[in-house]
Amino acid sequence: MRYTEYLLNTLKETPADAEVISHQLMLRTGMIRKVAAGIYSYLPFGLRAVRKVEQIVREEMDRAGAIELLMPMVTPADLWSESGRWEQYGKELLRLKDRKDTEFCLGPTHEEVITDIVRREVKSYRQVPLNLYQIQTKFRDEIRPRFGLMRGREFIMKDAYSFDVDEAGADIAYDKMYQAYRRIFERCGLKFRAVEADTGNIGGSASHEFMVLAESGEDAIVSCDSCEYAANVEKAEILFTAGATPLATHPLTEVSTPAQRSIADVASFLKIAQSQLVKTLIVKTDSDETLAVLLRGDHELNEIKLCRVLGCNEVLMADDATVTQVTGAPVGFAGPVGLKLRVIADHAVSAMADFVVGANAVDTHYTGVNNGRDFAVATFADLRQAEAGDRCPRCDGGTFESWRGIEVGHVFKLGHKYSRALNAVVLDADGKERTLFMGCYGIGIGRSVAAAIEQNHDENGIIWPLPIAPFQVMITMLNPKDDAVRQTSEQLYTDLRSAGIEVLLDDRDERPGSKFKDADLLGIPLRVTVGGRGIKEGALELQVRADGSKDSLPLAEAAQRIVARVDAELAAWR
RNA sequence: CGGGGAGUAGCGCAGCCUGGUAGCGCACCUGCCUUGGGAGCAGGGGGUCGCAGGUUCAAAUCCUGUCUCCCCGACCA
């Protein structure tokens, strides 16, 4: 591609509304442009990277035996009613009506549609195992889209769905996808980790997330420093070994704590550690129960775990009015003593004695509090968020380290959730109906591109991993008005292209400085500089974007050596 | 949706407090000059100041409403 015939506008300055580096660089390199919140156009340079990732995904899906198809983006409400998700999904599902007032939605995921296809087409156990995938635009009306392609409302996703007659088959399908995902992200040049995850509202029994390690990641993950266990903090189990409850040694005492509302405030006011406090959270469930949740002062509530314990879909922190009403005190002074609510507590609380809680009265706390003696806990459970330093639940002696990650892929064992709802069954060898076991497997394509940039950049711009680079080689033609320079560049351009190399020829009449800056920004892995100086010496300069190393190529063999280099490096990624 | 911030040329910003000619840098166009790390000179194009209403002789500026965007939280590939 010739720069002068391409659509590629780089920005010298960073647009003010881009926060994370991948978003900034995608805007500065002209990969994407925003059309509305969370909705982007992929400009030519950006689309090339997207297509590269798609191609890797396609190759690995095919290799793993999955079959590509394409489902519609607009899907009828009827199907969603069958699974119950028309009601469950909420505002994230963008609903619309056609001219006849029939209801539809833009597909946020395609379990319903694929299950409908399979129940119509697949009648016999002989037709499974089957794994179908598509690469398609999804729409989720996210509450808060952000960070460019990292969390868009409209985004390109690869989604695959496996169907098996029994659980053993489903496990094999899951494992195949898991392995395929590892290959995909390795081939994309990403440093990632597969972690155990919560299944969220997709449902199902088990799942792993593929997390690209990055400071800007929206997810917190923990991993064991001595075994293989790694999990999203939403999911990570806390090791708790029940011991004897420590004995109470202090009487219940009321203390004045004027205007000390937060755990940090109270701890420093009373000159005690935060772990000596118990925090009392007043929460409301989606079935309208208001209850109190107790956690050690330095621990964080994990709402997903709480939901699982309560058997509900959602818990919300109670609003100020509710807190005031049930505790009789303003927010900041709630405590379990004398509280007329169901109290459930994290395991850690059962190992505490003589702790501090709010007294349900303004500017007042209790010290010397003990559960059992001063209040009753209905249920103890694992309710808190895992954190660095916690003991590993899977091995002896390991402790957690914590990371931030970008979720680029997620694999789920769905079991019968959708196949039962939509009655996707086959006849087995005995002529009996068997409900299909399903799995579903997603990859965020655009997010993977963004994640690759998060991991591969420096202060000058992007450093593309070769397999997903929009172009493999950039020729920087220093002075297009110099005939020797122009002819040499043109010849190299032609030679490389005919050898199948993807090359961007910077034939603009710009000064060298601008061209070098743009080359660094665009981050094409190999850069060949063609200038009068080199030509006089009969050589071209090859510079590697990743490490800045330079190599002098004799003119006569330049093309051939570049081709060999691209081929060799590409081979290393497969 | 709750909390915070911002809308002035494609991008980055000033002007607003104290009402009166819409401005700067980059980018873009023309010419000259220059060609190994974002040159220089000269000329030029581009704006319903987010939108609507109000106050006023006069509104980017003051008032009211509204929309959009960004950041923090819940959601997720």
Average pLDDT, stretch A223-230? 90
The pLDDT score that the predictor gives to residue A32 is 94
Please name the nucleotide lying closest to A518, CA to C1'. Answer: B38
Q: Which of A139-148, A243-252, A476-485 has the lowest mean pLDDT?
A: A243-252
Average pLDDT estimate for A342-360 = 91
- Burial of residue A399 (number of CB atoms within 10 Å: 0-12, 13-18, 19+): middle
Q: What kind of fold does domain A471-573 have according to CATH?
A: Rossmann fold (3.40.50)
Task: Find the nucleotide nearest A539 (Cα to C1′).
Answer: B36
Label residues A59-84 b or e (16+ Cβ within 10 Å = b). Answer: ebbeebebeeeebeeebbbebbebbe
**pLDDT confidence of A310, banded at 50, 70, 90?**
confident
Read off the pLDDT of residues A58-96 as tens digits, 9 standing for 90 and up.
999 999 999 999 999 999 999 999 999 998 888 889 999
- Write down the pLDDT at residue A138: 95
Residue type, A200: G
Query: From 3.50.30.30, 3.10.20.30, 3.90.960.10, 3.40.50.300, which CATH number describes the A253-381 domain?
Result: 3.90.960.10
pLDDT at A245 over 80: no
Q: Find and list the nucleotides of strand B having atoms within 7 Å of a protein beta carbon.
A: 1-2, 11-13, 25-27, 34-39, 68-77
Protein A510 CA to nucleic acid B41 C1', in Å? 17
Nucleotide nearest to A209 (CA to C1'): B77
Kind of pairing, strands A342-346 and A379-381? parallel
CB A98 within 8 A of CB A72: no
* Nearest CA among A473, A489, A451 for reference residue A524: A473
Q: Is the dihedral of CA A161, A163, A168, A169 positive or negative?
A: negative
Q: How far is the CA of A531 from the C1' of B35 (A)?
A: 9
Q: Can you tell me the ipTM of this complex?
A: 0.93
Over residues A369-419, the pLDDT tens digits come to 998 899 999 989 988 888 888 899 889 889 999 889 999 999 999 999 999
Q: Please give the pLDDT value at position A202.
A: 59
**CA–C1' gap, A38 and B55, in angstroms:** 39
- Is A320's pLDDT higher than 80? no
What is the distance in angstroms measured between the alpha-carbon CA of A384 and the sugar C1' of B13? 46
User: Is the pLDDT confidence value at A319 over 80?
Assistant: no
* Closest nucleotide to A232, Cα to C1': B76
pLDDT value of residue A244: 73
In which band, very low, low, confident or very high, does the pLDDT at A301 lie, cut at 50, 70 and 90? confident
Distance from residue A35's CA to nucleotide B50's C1', rounded to whole Å? 15
Partner residues linked to A435 by β-bridges: A425
Res. A333 pLDDT band, cuts 50 70 90: confident
Q: How far is the CA of A541 from the C1' of B30 (A)?
A: 35
Q: Which of A49-53, A237-241, A285-289 has the lowest mean pLDDT?
A: A285-289
> Does the A44-237+402-454 domain belong in CATH 3.30.930.10?
yes
Residue A132 CA and nucleotide B45 C1' are separated, in Å, by 54
- Can you give the pTM of this predicted structure? 0.92
Q: Which residue is nearest to nucleotide B1 (CA to C1')?
A: A143
3-state helix, strand, coil in chain A (%, to 5): 35, 30, 35
Q: Indicate the domain borders of chain A.
A: 44-237+402-454, 253-381, 471-573
Q: Determine the nucleotide nearest to A158 by Cα–C1' distance.
A: B77
Protein residue nearest nucleotide B36, by CA to C1': A512
Q: Nearest nucleotide, C1' to the C-alpha of A210?
A: B77
Average pLDDT over residues A364-372: 92
